[in-house]
Each structure stands twice: as C-alpha cells, then as structure tokens.
Structure 1
Amino acid sequence: MGVMKPYIISEDARAQAAFYTEALGGEIVSLSTHGDLMGAQNEFKDKVMHMCLSVAGENYIFMADSMEPLIQGNGVALTIAYHTESEAYEAFSKLAAGGSVGHPIEKQPFGIYYGDLVDKFGIKWMITAEPKADLG
C-alpha cells in the first residue's frame, strides 16, 4: 500500500509554507534549493527544489518553486478532517485570511461540519469535523 502526499508547485514556496504552518500548526521539516541539490549557480540557485512541511498533526505536504509561469487549476483540493469542531473552525478561519470562502463551515444535512475555501495562494481546501463535543 502506498501513502499519498500532496505536492504543491508554488510561485513562492517559502511564503506559502510559512502561511500553512501558521494557519494549520506545524513546521518545515526540510528545505533544499537548486543550489543545494544540483549545485546550480544561476538564477534558480535559491529557488526551492524540494520542501517538506508537516501540518495539522501527522500530515505532510511537499512543495517546490515553479520554474515556469504557474497556471492555477481548480481540479484538486486539499482536505483535512479534524477531531473537534473548534479545531476545524480555527483552521478554516486562518486559511480563509486573504482568500475567498466558497461555503462557510457549518453542520451539513449529511451530518458533518464542512466548509471550503480558496486560500490566498489559489489552493482549494475542504475542512471537516465530526459533530461531537470538544474535550479540550
């Protein structure tokens, strides 16, 4: 069995990673530039070739700087399921800063809390939580 990890190509991977680790909690686990890994000594030497960040617990996102003009698509969304409503609301609020809310997070007819948004970097997020009392 494999493990899927999202890989985001970014116009500014460092800024985007800083936003996600602040909004979702986490840290940059590793960061390598084209200069570090390939010995590049050109205009790409400081661009991120590979970055790994942990967010919202034991979740990992890989990132890299784009080497060509970036075209934002709408065919992919990242989703995080939280254990408590308060965690979901907090993450949703932070991710929505500077972005646009598609559906506010609220209890859905199918039983869970759900909301979606596009963050300020053009990434669509779906945030969910099971309806139960927060324990902490």
Structure 2
Amino acid sequence: MGKLTPYIISENARSQAEFYIQTLGGEILSLMTHEQSMGAQHESKDKVMHLSMVVSGENSIFMADVFDEPFTNGSSVSLSIAYSTESEASEAFVKLAAGGKVKYPIEMQPFGLFFGELTDKYGVRWMITTEPKANE
C-alpha cells in the first residue's frame, strides 16, 4: 500500500509554505535546496527541491520551486505516493504511465530515493517513490 501526499509546485515554495502555516497552523518539517541535495552550483542552487510540512493537525503537504517548465499559479499540483517496496512503486508507475507521458523514469536518484515522475492520460501529475532501505 502507498501513502498519498499532495505535492505543490510553486514560484516561491518557502513563502507559500509560510502562508499556509500562518493561515492553517502547522510547521515546516524539512527543506532542501538543489545545492544541498545534489551539489548544484548554478543560478537555481537556492531553489527549493523538496519541502515537507504539516498543516491543520497532521495533514502532510510537500512543495518545491518550479524548476524546468512554464508555470501558471494554481495549476502545478502533483500527487506523490510513497510505496513500501521498489516493486510496488515500479508496478504503480508503469500502470499510471500507460497512455500518459513520463517526465522522469523511475530509478534511483542522486538525492537518495527511488523516484519517477509522470503525467497520466488525464493530465494528472504523479511522483512515485520508495526509500532504498525498503527495496526488495
């Protein structure tokens, strides 16, 4: 079984997260920039690669700064599912990708997760992950 978490892509994830925390209550649990996670040394090194927060009790939301595509406020929400095993993650990825478009094939990433991203045939963006320690 997987755990579903909304993933919001933002022009300024730090600012947007602070707004949600001030208006809904909660806290930022972690924040990682492109420089911190992958050693990036370009103009986007300070952009948020991944931000994890809780709001209104224990509701998790992930966020990131837009990085490589045109952006329209409010249209960049992705659904992120974390699976227990690599085989579960791969199976879900393949099924969701049918008739859709793969942005990043599911594979081990430099930031330490087995990760893939796609847009399904209905236009919904999905990020599928699993922790390396959970792999079969």
TM-score, normalised with respect to structure 1: 0.52
Counterpart residue identity of residue 55, structure 2: V
* 1:30 aligned partner: 30
Task: Give runs of ≥4 in structure 1 deviating > 3 Å.
Answer: 72-76
SS of 2:36's equivalent in the other structure is helix
Q: Deviations over 1:34-75 (max 9, x none)?
A: 000010111011000000011011111000000133124569
Q: 1:25–1:14: structure 2 CA closer, same or farther, 3 Å change rule?
A: same
Higher gyration radius (CA): 1
1:71 partner SS: coil
Aligned to 2:53: 53
The one-character-per-residue Cα deviations of 1:58-101 (angstroms, maximum 9, x if unpaired) are 1110000001331245697xxxxxxxxxxxxxxxxxxxxxxxxx
Corresponding residue number in structure 1 for 2:71 = 70
Q: Which is bigger in relative contact order (C-alpha 8 A, separation at least 6)?
A: 2
Percent of matched pairs sharing the same residue: 62
Distance (whole Å) between structure 1 residues aligned to residue 18 and residue 54 of structure 2: 11
TM-score, normalised to structure 2, is: 0.52
| In structure 2, distance between residues paired with 1:18 and 1:75 | 18
Instruction: Please give the per-residue CA displacement for 1:95-130, whole angstroms capped at 9, x wherever unaligned.
Output: xxxxxxxxxxxxxxxxxxxxxxxxxxxxxxxxxxxx
Residues 74 and 13 (structure 1), Cα distance of their counterparts in 2 relative to 1, 3 Å cut: closer
Is there any run of 5+ residues in structure 2 with no aligned partner, and where? 78-136
Cα deviation 1:7-48 (Å, max 9, x = unaligned)? 000000000000001111000000000000010111011000
Which ranges in structure 1 are unaligned for 5 or more consecutive residues? 77-136
Residues 75/14 of structure 1: CA separation in 2 closer, same or farther (3 Å cut): closer
CA root-mean-square deviation: 1.8
Structure 2: which amino acid aligns with 1:71? T
Gap change, CA 1:62 and 1:22, over 3 Å in 2: same
Q: Distance in 2 between matches of 1:48 and 1:75?
A: 15
